[in-house]
Each structure stands twice: as structure tokens, then as C-alpha cells.
Amino acid sequence: MENVFKYYEFSSFFKDASGSFSENDICYSELDAQHFLIFEQQDNRYNLYVAKYASKKEIGLKAP
């Protein structure tokens, strides 16, 4: 998975404070200014989401 994160330039993992991702660790990559790929790390499992935010500063702080 590390190669996928590096290749697609995902951010470092950080704790979700929005509650949208069950306060698990998440990382993101920009698709465009408002659409993002988000990986949620849950134990040794990853869930991938596509989400829309007004800006990347809202990821992990507000609900998509």
C-alpha cells in the first residue's frame, strides 16, 4: 500500500476529527479543487472513498 500512497501523492495519515470516518486515521489525494480520494485505515484494513469538500483544509474536520 505504501507504493500506492507515494505514487498518487497521498497525504500523511492523520486522525479524523469530523466523525465521518469513525475517528480512524485517514489520508487524502486531490482529484481537483473540490474532489478528493480518501483512504481510511481501520486496523489492517483500508477503505477508499471519494468525497467533496470546499477545500482540502476541511478534510478530517468537517463532514463531506
Every domain of the chain and the residues it spans: 2-58
4-60 pLDDT, tens digit each: 999 999 999 999 999 999 999 999 999 999 999 999 999 999 999 999 999 999 999
Residue 6: its pLDDT value, please? 94
pTM, full prediction: 0.91
Q: How far is CA 37 from the centre of its chain?
A: 6
Return the H-helix or E-strand segment holding 47: strand 45-52
Q: How many Cα neighbours within 13 Å face the side chain of 57?
A: 2
Residue 58: its pLDDT value, please? 97
Shortest CA distance to 28 belongs to which of 52, 9, 5, 10? Answer: 10
